[in-house]
C-alpha cells in the first residue's frame, strides 16, 4: 500500500474541506490515489447530504444579483438551517454562483417537481410526435421521449442544469457539496429573473 503522507492529507483536505481523519481514511481506502479519494469523500458527502435533506431549512438569505450593464437582475432565496451558516463564506459563494446561473441560463423552475403539468404534457406530446415523425418504432418511442425529457428538464429546471463555471457538475451537485461542507440542509426557496425588454410569464 502507498504511504500516506501529511502532505497528501493536507492537499486532499484543501480540495474537499473534509476532516483530517476522514481524509486519511479516504486516502488509505484509495491506496493513495488522489482522484479516487476525492470521489470517495464526495460519495460520503452525498450520502450525508441525503440524510440532511429532510431537515427544516428556515434561515438563509435573499441574494440580489445584477448582471454587468444592469440589463438582467436576479432575486434568489437560498435557505439553510441556521443564521450561522447563512453568514458562512461557502454558503454566500453558493448563493452567488446560483444567482449567476439563473441570470445566464434563465431556468423557469427550481426542480422537476415544480414543472407545470399542462406544460409537461404538451412537451411530451411534441417529443412523442417528433419521434414518430422520425420513423422510430412505436415500442421504443417512450424510451426516446424519456431521454429527451431529461434534456428538457436540464433546460428549464435550475437544479438539473449544468453549472456554467464547471459543466461536469449540476447545480444540485453544488448544493450537495456545500451541504456536506456546512453540515446543514440547504435548498433553493424560490427565484425571480428580470431582463430588460422581456415580458414576465
CATH code: domain of residue 125: 1.10.286
Element (H, E) at 73: strand 72-80
Alpha helices in 17-137 (DSSP H): 20-29, 34-52, 83-86, 89-105, 117-133
Region 91-107 average pLDDT: 96
Q: With 60 as the cut, is the pLDDT of residue 33 above it? A: yes
Task: Please indicate, yes or no, if residue 1 is contained in any of the structural domains.
Answer: no
Look at the pTM and tell me if it is higher than 0.95.
no
Cell numbers placing 80: 439553510
| Containing structural domain, residue 189 | 59-111+157-195
Q: With 80 as the cut, is the pLDDT of residue 41 above it? A: no
Give residue 173's pLDDT.
Answer: 93
Residues 182 and 83 in one domain: yes
The count of other CB atoms within 10 Å of the CB of residue 140 is: 10
Q: With 80 as the cut, is the pLDDT of residue 2 above it? A: no
Task: Please indicate, yes or no, if residue 31 is contained in any of the structural domains.
Answer: yes
Burial environment of residue 1 by CB neighbours within 10 A (0 to 12, 13 to 18, 19 or more): exposed
pLDDT tens-digit map of 125-143: 888 888 888 888 887 888 8
Give residue 53's pLDDT.
Answer: 54
Residues 67 and 166 in one domain: yes
Closest CA to 80 of 105, 102, 63: 63
Residues 47 and 130 in one domain: no
Who has greater pLDDT, 64 or 181? 64
pLDDT tens-digit map of 112-127: 989 888 988 898 888 8
Region 48-61 average pLDDT: 67
The number of domains in the chain is: 3
Q: With 90 as the cut, is the pLDDT of residue 147 above it? A: no
Q: With 70 as the cut, is the pLDDT of residue 18 above it? A: no
Residues 64 and 104 in one domain: yes
- The answer to whether the CB of 182 falls within 8 A of the CB of 93 is no
Dihedral of CA atoms 130, 135, 139, 145 in degrees, nearest 10, equals -20
Amino acid at each position: 500500500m502507498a504511504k500516506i503522507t501529511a502532505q497528501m492529507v493536507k492537499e486532499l483536505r484543501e480540495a474537499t474541506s473534509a476532516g483530517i481523519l476522514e481524509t486519511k481514511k479516504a486516502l488509505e481506502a484509495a491506496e493513495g490515489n488522489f482522484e479516487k479519494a476525492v470521489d470517495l469523500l464526495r460519495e460520503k458527502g452525498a450520502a450525508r447530504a441525503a440524510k440532511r435533506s429532510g431537515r427544516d431549512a428556515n434561515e438563509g438569505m435573499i441574494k440580489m444579483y445584477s448582471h454587468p450593464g444592469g440589463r438582467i437582475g436576479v432575486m434568489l432565496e437560498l435557505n439553510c438551517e441556521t443564521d450561522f451558516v447563512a453568514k458562512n463564506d461557502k454558503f454566500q459563494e453558493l448563493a452567488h454562483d446560483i444567482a449567476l446561473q439563473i441570470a445566464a441560463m434563465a431556468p423557469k423552475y427550481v426542480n422537476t417537481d415544480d414543472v407545470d403539468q399542462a406544460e409537461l404534457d404538451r412537451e411530451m406530446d411534441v417529443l412523442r410526435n417528433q419521434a414518430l415523425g422520425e420513423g422510430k418504432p412505436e415500442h421504443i418511442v417512450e424510451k426516446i421521449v424519456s431521454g429527451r425529457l431529461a434534456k428538457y428538464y436540464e433546460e428549464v429546471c435550475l437544479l438539473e442544469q449544468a453549472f456554467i463555471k464547471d459543466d461536469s457538475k449540476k447545480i444540485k451537485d453544488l448544493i450537495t457539496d456545500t451541504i456536506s461542507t456546512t453540515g446543514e440542509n440547504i435548498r433553493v426557496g424560490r427565484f425571480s429573473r428580470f431582463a430588460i425588454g422581456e415580458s414576465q410569464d
